[in-house]
Structure 1
Amino acid sequence: MKYIAGFIFALMALLSTVGAVYQGYDFFDLRIRGLKAPAQVLSTSSSKMTNVGSGHSYTTTRTVAFVTADGTPVIHEFRDEFSGAKAGDTVSVFYNPANPREIIAGTFFGLGLFLSLIIFALLSVLGIQFAWED
C-alpha cells in the first residue's frame, strides 16, 4: 500500500512542480525581459457557460489597446483578467518588444497560482515521506 501512496504523491509532486515552473515562467518572463505599458480597456463582455460542474459559470472578455515604445498601436483581448475593469479604465500590460503580440496582464493572479503550485508540490513531498514511514 505504501508503494501506491508513494507513487501517487510522487506523481502529484511532479505534476505540480511542472505546473509551477510553467506558471512561474509565464508570470516572470515578460516582467523581466518585456516592457510595461498602460492600456485602455476598450470593451468588456460577459458570456454564460452552461453545464459547468453542477451549474453555470461566466467568462469575461476585455479588449484593451496600448501603444508600444516604438509607437505601434496594439489591440489585445484578455479572458477573465482585470476583474472589475470597465470600458475607459486604464490597466497595465507587459509585452515583448520584439513581438508586441506576446502580451500578459499586469495582474498578480499568475503569481498566486505559482505560489499555490509550489506549496502543493512541497505538501506532496511531505506526503511521500509519511507514506514511506513504517
Structure 2
Amino acid sequence: MRIFPGSIFLLAALAFGAGAVHFFQQFVDYRLNGLPSVGTVLRVTVYPVHNGGKSSYTRYTDVQFATAEGTLIKHSFHDELSGAKEGDQVDLLYKPENPQDVVSASWLTLFFGLMMTLGALAGLLAFSSFTPMKAPPQGPPVEP
C-alpha cells in the first residue's frame, strides 16, 4: 500500500477545478442564452457584519430593468456591483424564460473562472511535487 502525502493538494485541485467549470459554464450560458438589458440602480444598502470579533460589510444593490417585452423587473444583488451608486446605469444579462434569473454583464465571472483554474493548476503542481512513500510495515520485523 502506498501513502500519498500530497493528497490534500489533489483534493484542492479537484475542488478548484469544479469551481472553474461552474464559473465558465455560467459565463457561457448567460452569453449564449441570456438577453442584455440596462438596469437603473434604485438603492444601495450597506450592512455591517460581525463575525468572530472581526467586522466587515455586506452590500445589497437594488436594480430595476426592463425585459424585451417591456416588463419592469426589480432585482437585488448581494455583494455585486460594488462601485454602483443610486441612479447609475448597469449592464445586465437575464434569462428570457425567467427574468428574475439575472447577472451583471461584467467579465467578473470569467475572472473567477480563471482564478479557479490557476488554483487547480497550483494544486496539481503541489501534488506532483510529492513522491509516494511506502506504508510503514505492519506486524513484527522480519529477521534476515
Which residues in structure 2 correspond to 1:22-33 (within 5 Å)? 22-33=22-33
- Secondary structure (helix, strand or coil) at the match of 2:121 reads helix
Select between 62-71 and 18-27 the one with higher mean Cα deviation: 18-27
Shift of 1:22: 1.2
Q: Distance in 2 between matches of 1:23 and 1:108?
A: 11
- 2:142 aligned residue: none
Shift of 1:108: 2.5
- 1:111 aligned residue: 110
AA aligned to 2:84 is: A
Shift of 1:133: 7.5
Select between 108-117 and 32-41 the one with higher mean Cα deviation: 108-117
RMSD of the TM alignment (CA)?
1.8
Q: Is the 8 A contact 1:93 1:104 kept in 2?
A: yes
Q: Distance in 1 between matches of 2:20 and 2:116?
A: 5
Q: Distance in 2 between matches of 1:28 and 1:86?
A: 28
Q: Distance in 2 between matches of 1:45 and 1:113?
A: 24
Q: Distance in 1 between matches of 2:102 and 2:71?
A: 14
AA aligned to 2:17 is: T
- Secondary structure (helix, strand or coil) at the match of 1:123 reads helix
- Secondary structure (helix, strand or coil) at the match of 2:82 reads coil
AA aligned to 1:3 is: F
Q: Distance in 2 between matches of 1:90 and 1:116?
A: 28
Q: Distance in 1 between matches of 2:27 and 2:48?
A: 28
TM-score, L = length of structure 1: 0.90
- 1:80 aligned residue: 79
Q: Which runs of 4+ in 1 moved over 2 A?
A: none
Q: Is the 8 A contact 2:49 2:55 kept in 1?
A: yes
Number of residue pairs aligned between Structure 1 and Structure 2: 132
- Secondary structure (helix, strand or coil) at the match of 1:25 reads helix
Structure with greater helix percent: 1
Unaligned runs of 5+ in 2: 134-144
TM-score, L = length of structure 2: 0.84
Which residues in structure 2 correspond to 1:55-66 (within 5 Å)? 55-66=54-65
- Deviations along 1:16-55, one digit per CA (max 9) or x if unpaired, are 1111111222233112211111000011110000125x52
Identical columns (%):
34
